[in-house]
Amino acid sequence: MNKDWLELTPEDIERAEQLSRAEQLTRAQPIMPDVITIHPSEIPPDRPVPAASRTIISVTHDDLAPVGAQRDTSVDLQAMEEEMYRLVNTARSSHLPGWIGTGKLKWHENLAAVARGHSADMLKRQYVAHVSPEGISAARRIGQNSISYIACGENIGIYYGEGAHTSQAVREIHDAFMNQPRSMTNHRGNLLNPLWTHVGIGIAFNPDGSLVATQNFISAPAARIRGR
Q: What is the DSSP string of 174-211?
A: HHHHHTS-S-SSSHHHHHT-TT--EEEEEEEEETTTEE
Q: What is the pLDDT of residue 41?
A: 53
* Interval 54-105: pLDDT, tens: 444 445 556 668 888 889 999 999 999 999 999 999 999 999 887 776 689 9
Q: What is the pLDDT of residue 35?
A: 41
Within 8 A by CB and 6+ apart from 129, the residues are 31, 122
Please tell me whether the overall predicted TM-score, pTM, comes out greater than 0.85 for this model: no
* Interval 149-202: pLDDT, tens: 999 999 999 999 888 889 999 999 999 999 999 888 899 999 999 999 999 999
Q: What is the pLDDT of residue 37?
A: 44
